[in-house]
Structure 1
Amino acid sequence: MPLTWTDDIHRIDWEELARLYRLAPLGDKPPEVLRTVFGNSRFRFFVFDEAGRLVAAGRALADGADCSYICDVAVLPGHQGTGLGREMVSRLVEVSRGHRKIILYSVPGKEGFYRKLGFRRLLTGMAIFADEATAIARGHLEAD
């Protein structure tokens, strides 16, 4: 099945993208939030199937020299396991080349997948979450 890749945010139905994130599952991300974060990202890719349905998305926040941060990589369940997620991350890494560091935020349990793509565990990563209790429950943060 042929897939079409684009970085054009003007082609995106933000409700459809929000649905993709729920199904992937990466949580509930409101359409208006997705419009903001993808609009503010230096790099982004969207993938459509032959029927024009959005089946994958991903983005990277980058400053052009020092740091590129890959996040929000989502693949529709019916397309998971096909190499599409690997291709998404590989493309985001490629457009991020030239930055001194490329950082990736992972869903707990997916670290092995990203390790195969060249990522290594950060020993000094720290975070502040708006909803700390949920982040601890989902395995993103250590409990004190």
Structure 2
Amino acid sequence: MCFMLKTKDDHPPVDWQALAELIERGGLSARDHIILQKAYQNSQFAWFGYVDGKLMATAHAISDLTYSSYLSDVVVDPHYQGRGYGRQLMQTILDTLAPLGKVVIYSMPDKIEFYQNLQFHRLNSAMVYGPDNIIARLRQGNFID
């Protein structure tokens, strides 16, 4: 199997519905593909991983290009997990973002160890503000009490 990683700058053709399905299949919350498209288009950075031409990994980030970047929707299709693709994706992301300062990410509880193995550290003082429906979803996912 041949793993290929493309960035937003490569202008890969993106099937936004398929991307939304990948994100949900990967264990993140369901996304409306139209809103997802807007999020990716408004992000400065985006990555798309392919195995034999099939989209199987993704992530996107925003950054102030000086102090910090926020990394979001890091997903590898469950069928392809455990083969090192997530580590390759994250190494490429960190090669891009780490020179721009700290990298912040929400992690699914079952992926915390994966990120810690990549030298991420838990924050003791992070706070979040958002509409009631988003706060409720974060509570349901055990991101906040």
- TM-score by structure 2 length? 0.90
Q: 1:140 aligns with which of 115, 118, 143?
A: 143
Residue of structure 2 in register with 1:97 after alignment: 98
- The structure 1 segments of at least 4 consecutive aligned residues displaced by more than 3 Å after TM superposition are none
DSSP-derived class of the 1:70 partner: strand
CA distance in 2, matches of 1:69, 1:87: 19
Q: 2:28 aligns with which of 22, 26, 29?
A: 26
Deviation of 1:84 after TM superposition, in Å, equals 1.1
What RMSD, in angstroms, separates the aligned Cα atoms of the two structures? Answer: 1.4
Correspondences of 1:34-113 after superposition (within 5 Å): 34-50=36-52, 52-113=53-114
Identity of aligned residues (%): 29
- Counterpart of 1:109 in structure 2: which amino acid? D
CA distance in 2, matches of 1:42, 1:116: 26
Instruction: Report if the CA contact (8 A) 1:56-1:74 is conserved.
Output: yes
Instruction: Report if the CA contact (8 A) 1:60-1:92 is conserved.
Output: no
Deviation of 1:48 after TM superposition, in Å, equals 1.5
- Counterpart of 1:19 in structure 2: which amino acid? E
CA distance in 1, matches of 2:14, 2:139: 32
CA distance in 1, matches of 2:40, 2:66: 20
CA distance in 1, matches of 2:93, 2:36: 18
Equivalent pairs counted in the alignment come to 141
Structure 1: state its 5+ residue gaps. none
Instruction: Report if the CA contact (8 A) 1:49-1:55 is conserved.
Output: yes
- Counterpart of 1:7 in structure 2: which amino acid? T
CA distance in 1, matches of 2:19, 2:67: 29
Instruction: Report if the CA contact (8 A) 1:75-1:85 is conserved.
Output: yes
Deviation of 1:10 after TM superposition, in Å, equals 4.7
DSSP-derived class of the 2:69 partner: strand
CA distance in 2, matches of 1:7, 1:111: 25
Structure 2: state its 5+ residue gaps. none
Residue deviations 1:57-78, cap 9 Å, x none? 0111111111111110011111
